[in-house]
Amino acid sequence: MGKLRKRHSSDGVIAKKHLGQHFLNRPDIAQDIADLVSDEVDIVIEIGPGTGVLTQFLYPRFKEKLYVIELDLESVDFLRQQDWAFGLNIIEGDFLEMDLQDFLGNKKVSIVGNYPYNISTQIVFKLLEEPWNVIQFCGMFQKEVAERLSSGPGNKQYGITSILLQAAFHCKYSFSVDEHAFIPPPKVKSGVIDCHRYSYLENENYFRLKKITKQAFSQRRKTLSNALKPILLDKTLPEKFASKRAEALNVEDFWELVNFFYSSTY
């Protein structure tokens, strides 16, 4: 029973390991995350509110504009019993399985959360691949993932998700969070990022970029002339890229590679 108690939040809700739950237990950090959320949006979606530590700072600001999505029924029941959460828009279910297009339309959306570590990268891919008008994306990730999403060329964390996210969003690493800010404490530190939309990608171009980027980083220690060899066919890689490694290229360089592979002008 000792181990079970350690997985309880301060409010008595059990953190489920299979859901990747680690409840934030620092209101000051929750306030700092809430402060990142832009006022210039029509809808705010919080993913995985848990016991509402972050929600308590978002709800007074955004009121009916705030929607929280929660898979854990115990957390849903807990939120519905809280006086401060009266009237809160709670959507039960798995964010990764949801089709929200009819609901969101072309409304300007901000997505925020203390994201479950076991699905955080999948959340990033979903928001990039859905046709929603997400103009801001911010919140808490495992520190290594937060650094990867926000890092630039020449950094060992820089990779596929860095390129794909930064092809649409300007991303900033905001601050780090210690393990002991959570119940139960994770085995790793956490990091908060703040990303703002600057470009909208057509699906075809996005998936082309994804294909080229994945191939380029598939053997990141090799030069691009070798890493991209399986898809080069009869093409000759431009000299400016041939001797470089994938981690040396910025987003604009990868778009140039996409044009090289898919344009008849090369």
Ordered by where they begin, the domains of the chain are 2-197 (3.40.50.150), 207-262 (1.10.8.100)
User: What pLDDT is attached to residue 10?
Assistant: 55
Q: What is the pLDDT of residue 1?
A: 29
pLDDT value for 9: 60
For 113-140, b where at least 16 C-beta lie within 10 A, e where not — what string? bbbbbebbbebbebbbeeebbbbbbbbb
- pLDDT < 70 positions in the chain: 1-11, 264-266
The pLDDT score that the predictor gives to residue 20 is: 76
| Percent of the chain as helix, strand, coil, to the nearest 5 | 45, 20, 35
**pTM of the predicted structure, to 2 decimals:** 0.91
Strands 23-24 and 43-47: unpaired
Buried b (16+ CB within 10 A) or exposed e, 73-85: ebbbebbeeeeeb
